[in-house]
Amino acid sequence: MAYHTPKLVRMLLGGLHVNVCPRNFTHVQKLATNHSRGFTSSARCQDGQSSSGSTDDNLTVNFINRHGETLKATAKEGESLLEVVIRHHLNIDGFGACEGTLACSTCHLIFDPKHFDQLGPISDEEMDMLDLAFGLTDTSRLGCQICMSKAIDGMTVHVPKDVADARGETVGQQSQN
């Protein structure tokens, strides 16, 4: 089936705690439940990385959190924004509840249009989860799906005011009777 062991699995097997874009993890999890699905080769975040997954921490990204504070962080090429937040313990409550497996929308981020255009295509699955995010905008993405690259080095992203998933809220209920 899959000819290359996905990097995350290899590293976990080796007991190393190195950051890799959790996109790959999604595929691993899916594999665990459903062998027939296999891997897609869309491990975008790996492209810029050496096989060890650790390149220099030479990019930067600024997060503006819900309190309006700017949190500046260093990032590695290929690292997802979710991993950047976790690795630096950035003060953004509840970020990434499902750990980058596209099962929630708590890592919703809002981008400037000029950076948004650099981010590459968005999958139906990411759109599906974004649909449930509060404060959805035309330049919203999920942080777990965005990997750092030179093109977006130094950018500033906003954490929306409310992180809640809108599922349940978007659905109008007939009166409870």
Partner 1 sequence: MSPRCSWLYRLPGRALLGGIRTLPTTRCPGLHRSLTSSAHPPQICIVGSGPAGFYTAQHLLRHHTQAVVDIYEKLPVPFGLVRFGVAPDHPEVKNVINTFTQTAHSERCTFLGNVTVGRDVTIEELQTAYHAVVLSYGAEDKRLLGIPGENLPGVYSARDFVGWYNGLPDNRHLSPDFSAETAVILGQGNVALDIARILLSPIDLLKKTDITQTALDALSNSRIRKVWLVGRRGPLQVAFTIKELREMIILPGTRPANNPSDYQNLGDFIKDLPRPRKRLTELLVKAALEKPGEKEALRRSQSDREWGLRFLRSPVAVLPSEDGKKAAGIRLSVTRLEGNGENAVAVPTGETEDIPCGLILSSIGYKSVPISSSVPFLHKNGIIPNSMGRVQDAPGLYCSGWVKRGPTGVIATTMTDSFDTAQSLLEDIKSGALNYSENRLGASAIRELLLLRGIQPVSFSDWEKIDAVEAARGAEVGKPREKILDPEEMLQLVCR
Ligand X SMILES: NC(=O)c1ccc[n+]([C@@H]2O[C@H](COP(=O)([O-])OP(=O)(O)OC[C@H]3O[C@@H](n4cnc5c(N)ncnc54)[C@H](OP(=O)(O)O)[C@@H]3O)[C@@H](O)[C@H]2O)c1
97-100 long-range contacts (CB < 8 A, ≥24 apart) are: 99/22, 99/25, 100/21, 100/22, 100/23, 100/25, 100/26, 100/144
Of 49 and 105, the one with the shorter C-beta distance to ligand X is 105
Of 147 and 151, the one with the shorter C-beta distance to partner 1 is 147
Closest CB 166 distance from ligand X, rounded Å? 10
How many Å apart are CA 78 and CA 121, to the nearest integer? 16
Closest CB to ligand X belongs to which residue? Answer: 168
Q: Among residues 14, 15, 113, 168, which is the contact residue for ligand X, using CB under 6 A?
A: 168
Contact string 68-87 vs partner 1 (x = CB under 8 A): --------------xx--xx
Q: Among all chains, which residue has been given the structure tokens 């497996």? A: 101
Q: Among residues 102, 109, 110, 142, which is the contact residue for partner 1, using CB under 8 A?
A: 102
Q: Among residues 73, 79, 84, 100, which is the contact residue for partner 1, using CB under 8 A?
A: 100
Contact string 7-36 vs partner 1 (x = CB under 8 A): --x--xx-x-x----x--xx-xx-xxxxxx
117 binds, among partner 1, ligand X, none (CB under 5 to 8 A by kind): none
Residue 128: C-alpha distances to residues 10, 86, 131, 157, 162 (Å)? 29, 24, 5, 21, 18
Residue 172 makes contact with partner 1 by CB under 8 A? yes
| Residue list 116-155, contact with partner 1 (CB under 8 A) | 124-125, 127-129, 131-132, 136
Per the CB < 8 A criterion, the answer to whether 23 and 45 are in contact is yes
Per the CB < 8 A criterion, the answer to whether 150 and 56 are in contact is no
Closest CB 98 distance from ligand X, rounded Å? 10
What is the dihedral angle through the alpha carbons of 93, 68, 148, 96, rounded to the nearest 10 degrees? Answer: 20
